Chains A and B, each alone.
Chain A
Amino acid sequence: GAVVSQHPSWVICKSGTSVKIECRSLDFQATTMFWYRQFPKQSLMLMATSNEGSKATYEQGVEKDKFLINHASLTLSTLTVTSAHPEDSSFYICSARDPQGEQYFGPGTRLTVT
């Protein structure tokens, strides 16, 4: 099946710094990618829909200036957590939709802000 990678798989950063997470579709082109956030023992919450070549669509309650999304190519979307704080610590998962409409999930990135 299709493969989606995320980098890094885990990151620890200091409060106030910014962190960039990459999501890549390795063997297909994805015009649409999704970013999710998952707290421990909880479900995935959709943060935003990333469309190649256009602005991301954010879900209600998600600060677009804090979670910057860039989808510059058909195989890469990035999520930058700006001025990170401990409450931003979470598991971030991306998914990419293939031309047939099926979504494939990345392995996730564990962010810890100290």
Chain B
Amino acid sequence: GEDVEQSLFLSVREGDSSVINCTYTDSSSTYLYWYKQEPGAGLQLLTYIFSNMDMKQDQRLTVLLNKKDKHLSLRIADTQTGDSAIYFCAETATGGGNKLTFGTGTQLKVEL
């Protein structure tokens, strides 16, 4: 089955850039997503990228996709304390019925 992996924890200083990485195994992935989850809350869609793209920028967020290596990253510029949360990458695959497969989640801690 599909497997989506992320590093568990990332700590950055306020104002620095954060880069959260994700690797996946399903070569038929069509869309890849980044979600943010704050404590005790549901998921907020931050951005997504179609598998035939290699980069997408949306304000402070930059998504890079290396389809050959099956590697996805999310860069947050000028990280703020409000960005502290758990970030999940997720993918949907062709023939998967739009089912999302989530990564293990990366806890981002922003320190002053």
Contacts and interface: CB of A to CB of B under 8 A. Distances in A.
Interface stretch (A67-75, A79-87, A100-108): A100-108
Contacts of A97: 98
Interface string B39-53: 011111100000000
Contact of A43 (B44, B45, B102): B102
A64 interface: no
Contacts of B56: none
Contact of B97 (A41, A49, A102): A49
A110 B40 contact: yes
A43 B98 contact: no
Nearest to B105: A43
Given A34-B99, A49-B97, A43 B88 contact: yes
Interface of B: 35, 40-45, 88, 97-105, 107
5 contacts: A34-B100, A41-B105, A44-B100, A49-B97, A95-B100
Which 9 pairs, one residue from A and one from B, show the smallest C-beta to C-beta distance?
A105-B43, A107-B42, A105-B42, A43-B102, A108-B42, A44-B102, A43-B104, A106-B42, A43-B105
